[in-house]
Amino acid sequence: MDRILERLREAVLGSPWQGRLWLVGGAVRDGLLGLKAGPDLDIVVEGDAGEAVQFLVHSGVADGPPVLFPRFGTAMLRVGGVPVDFVTARKEAYEPDSRKPQVEPASLLEDALRRDFTVNALLRSVSDGDLADPLGQGLADLKARILRTPLDAETTFRDDPLRMLRAVRFRWQLGFEFAPGLAEAIQSQANRLRVISAERIRDEWVKTLLNPAPDRAMADQKELGLLAEFAPELLDMVGVEQGSDHHLDVWDHTLLALHNTTSPDLLTRLAVVFHDVGKPATRTVEADGRTRFFGHERVGAEIATRVLDRLRFANDDTEAVAKLVRNHMRLSSAPTLTDSGARRLIRDLDSLVPHFLDMVEADASALRPGVRRLDLAAVRRKLAEIAAQTPASRLASPLSGDEIMALTDLPPGAEVGRIKALLLEEVLEGRLAPGDAEGARAFVLRTLAAATPLDPQTSGNQEDS
């Protein structure tokens, strides 16, 4: 960040723009907190941001042409490979059912009043590094670690309801507390999230899940009425008792598992959030009092897909999370992981195996204390050993459908598919080496000669992982 600011400082030196460009927002806040600055650089301009950006382009500081948004008085310029956003100091007015404000140029004070929180309205001069606190409150709130809105909180949240989700994220990301009345304002305005696009909600939720305390942030989202607006399916877990190996209801178990995720990985954390979301719809209590959740992994995968699609997550991410949820019980029924089970897991999950193991570990860590658990260290060693011997790409039938038809004179159809599935089963069970086409041909001819039913369900063990 410093080198980018230095280039901007040199570019405006001695020009009409000297002293009129101010760094604002998270970069200033985090710098004062001693935190590593994020990738975003926001500059507020006393004057027309478009004109300032054009000047910077002509000065040679820019990597290329700017992207201009004259209606909103904003522009984006890449400097040294880093995108820098410029905005005209402005004031805004919103229609009740719109997120598109009417804007007009204004003073730095008026610009500060339109921002989300006082600690995000602090300014640092690009030219001389001087710090400015237009509201006269930001520095004090930063020191006290208080999250306060510049205007009345209900007005601030009504103008841009996404700020309510940002409030929760900042609370737990920065270790701040809400100013008096802020939580109540969120509760009163929570339904305003409906005017926010799914994409903006998704992006903010992702940032929240990746922060240091995603479980506490999600608890806040529930208590403040925000979760009900964008993922109400998750609320069905609240109060659903589990019994047996569990000492918490489904919701609190999920939060504890989320707390115990070992790395800030999005796919893993989303999988943990949804891993038991199918339990409320599948809960039954048997005659002996045992609580069961048959098929909850399948139902959970369907719910995860529905929620993530609604929030416009990338298809690949949605499919990955659904696959993880659908498979999260794979290690629950066997005391050890066999070679065959390891091959099946690698075949089915491939690059998702590390996410799967992290999810299973987080899930297991949230069980009732004292419950016997699978030795995941041994599982990791076994999977690494098998993957080194046979990567997922080789866990397939050694013969293609065309090769099977040429060998057996069978026409295209279900019988060819059954033979191919049987060959795959032999590979997974370790009785046929991956890629061993000659061995596969001999096996097929031997099986046909013995008139053995070509049904993979009759060969080898069933799913044992």
Distance CA 130, CA 393 (A): 58
Domain 145-229 matching CATH 3.40.190.10: the answer reads no
Distance CA 238, CA 81 (A): 46
User: What residue ranges of the chain have pLDDT lower than 70?
Assistant: 93-102, 333-335, 451-465
**And the tokens for 304?**
């995860």
pLDDT of residue 392: 85
**In this structure, are residues 464 and 348 in contact, taking their beta carbons and an 8 Å threshold?**
no
- pTM of the complete model: 0.86
Parse the chain into domains and list their residue ranges: 2-144, 145-229, 231-393, 397-458
pLDDT of residue 453: 53
**In this structure, are residues 91 and 46 in contact, taking their beta carbons and an 8 Å threshold?**
no
Distance CA 176, CA 299 (A): 37
Distance CA 224, CA 177 (A): 14
Distance CA 383, CA 387 (A): 6
Q: Name the H helices within 103-161.
A: 108-113, 138-144, 153-159
3-state secondary structure of 21: strand
DSSP string, 199-219: HHHHHHHHHHHTSS-HHHHHH
Specify the CATH number for 2-144; select among 3.40.50.2300, 1.10.10.970, 3.40.1160.10, 3.30.460.10. Answer: 3.30.460.10
- Within its chain, how far is the Cα of 216 from the centroid? 16
pLDDT of residue 462: 38
Q: Tell me the sheet residues that pair with 425.
A: none
Q: How many C-beta atoms lie closer than 10 Å to residue 103's C-beta?
A: 17
The tokens 């369900």 sit on which residue?
Answer: 457
Q: Go through 215-232 and write b for each residue having 16 or more CB atoms within 10 A of its CB, e for each that does not.
A: bbbbbbbbebbbbebbbe
Judged by phi (left if over 0) then psi (alpha if -120 to 50, else beta), residue 35 lies in: beta
pLDDT of residue 95: 65
**In this structure, are residues 104 and 90 in contact, taking their beta carbons and an 8 Å threshold?**
yes
pLDDT of residue 459: 45
pLDDT of residue 101: 65
Specify the CATH number for 231-393; select among 1.10.3210, 1.10.3430, 2.30.30, 1.10.8. Answer: 1.10.3210
